[in-house]
Amino acid sequence: MKLHCLGTAGYHPNDTRQTTSFFISEANLLLDAGTGVFRLDKLIRDPELSILLSHAHLDHVVGLTYFLDLLGTTPLQRIHVYGEERKLKAIQEHLFHEAIFPVLPPLVWHPIDSEPGPWQVGQTSVTWFPLQHPGGSVGYRLQLPGVSLAYVTDTTSRHDSSYWSKIQGVDWLIHECNFRDEQQELAEKTGHSCISAVLENAYRNGIQRLIVMHMNPLEKGPDPIGLAAATARLGEKTPPYILLATDSTAIDLSSL
């Protein structure tokens, strides 16, 4: 069960990172549709694809307009898009307004509001939960064959955030971390997280495998969020396995 990191930046792409998008190939499932979506050209093997959207900010949805190319170069024929109804409507009315993007790909819209889950997408059992973020966002808990995973972006991580109760016991947590610890004020203002808060809260909640993503694109080095300094400071009070996601890499979720 592989997790392909198509895009690991927040806000906008830089030379090495596209914006947020992750593909679980065996489940035929895409988490968000940022600018990394074009990288699906080498990965799609099936005529149907399902997308779980956290919210409709552009760094998570602009890739929905890239599917016309993929329809021509892969077996893809139909795309199921799951998200909150208000966000799905905004995407249809604005992103796919004829003045902005005139040709509609074969998208099928699935509002999730009345169904917290679990519901099935193929062989995957899905539950969603709300996250605090300007305009709102949702996180997902997925039970895949043999492995569970939680996806949490965009939000400011707090020890008392309600989402922790929804993701107890997951095998993997994919969590946003846009900022270094010194940028706490900016993180609060924009509804994002700093690294030490993510590490400490994940540790307190028993997370064993943490993947951090949605990083500040202005930071171009190998450690854009100060992970090394934060883990050195926190010592053993961090999850035992922490991975800073990198574009165009794949993580084997079955290696527990």
Query: Looking up tokens 């846009």, which residue turns up?
Result: 178
For Zn ion, the closer of residues 19 and 238 by Cβ is 19
32 binds Zn ion (CB under 5 A): no
Residue 31 CB, shortest distance to Zn ion, in Å, is 12
What are the residues whose beta carbons fall under 8 Å from the beta carbon of 105, sequence distance 6 or more?
64, 65, 67, 68, 71, 79
Q: Which is nearer to Zn ion, 154 or 219 (CB)?
A: 154
CB of 89 to Zn ion, least distance (A): 17
- Residue 102 CB, nearest distance to Zn ion (Å)? 26
Q: Which of 10, 36, 105, 224 binds Zn ion (CB under 5 A)?
A: 10
CB atoms within 10 A of CB 231: 17
Contact between 36 and Zn ion per CB under 5 A: no
Which one, 59 or 247, has the nearer CB to Zn ion?
59
Question: Do residues 132 and 191 lie in contact, with contact meaning Cβ atoms separated by under 8 Å?
Answer: yes
Choosing from 4, 17, 39, 57, the residue that interacts with Zn ion (CB under 5 A) is 57
The least distance separating Zn ion from the CB of residue 167, rounded to whole angstroms, comes to 19
Strands laid side by side in the 249-252 sheet: 107-111, 78-83, 48-52, 29-31, 21-24, 2-7, 249-252
- Does 59 contact Zn ion by CB under 5 A? yes
Find the residue with minimal CB distance to Zn ion. 57
What DSSP assignment string belongs to 108-151?
Answer: EEEE-TT--S-EEETTEEEEEEEE-STT-EEEEEEEETTEEEEE
Residue pointed to by tokens 């806000």? 11
C-beta of 218: minimal distance to Zn ion in Å?
Answer: 14
Quote the least distance from Cβ 134 to Zn ion, whole Å. Answer: 7
* Least separation in angstroms between CB 185 and Zn ion: 18
How far is it, in rounded angstroms, from Cα 196 to Cα 105? 41
Site for Zn ion in 226-245 (CB under 5 A): none
Dist. CA 172–CA 208, nearest whole Å:
7
Only one of the segments 58-66, 82-90, 101-109, 112-120 lies at the binding site for Zn ion (rule: CB under 5 A); that segment is 58-66
Coil vs helix vs strand at 80: strand
CB 18 within 8 A of CB 35: yes
Annotate each residue in 136-155 with x if it binds Zn ion (CB under 5 A) or - if it does not, as one string: ------------------x-
Which residues of this protein are in contact with Zn ion, per CB under 5 A? 10, 57, 59, 154
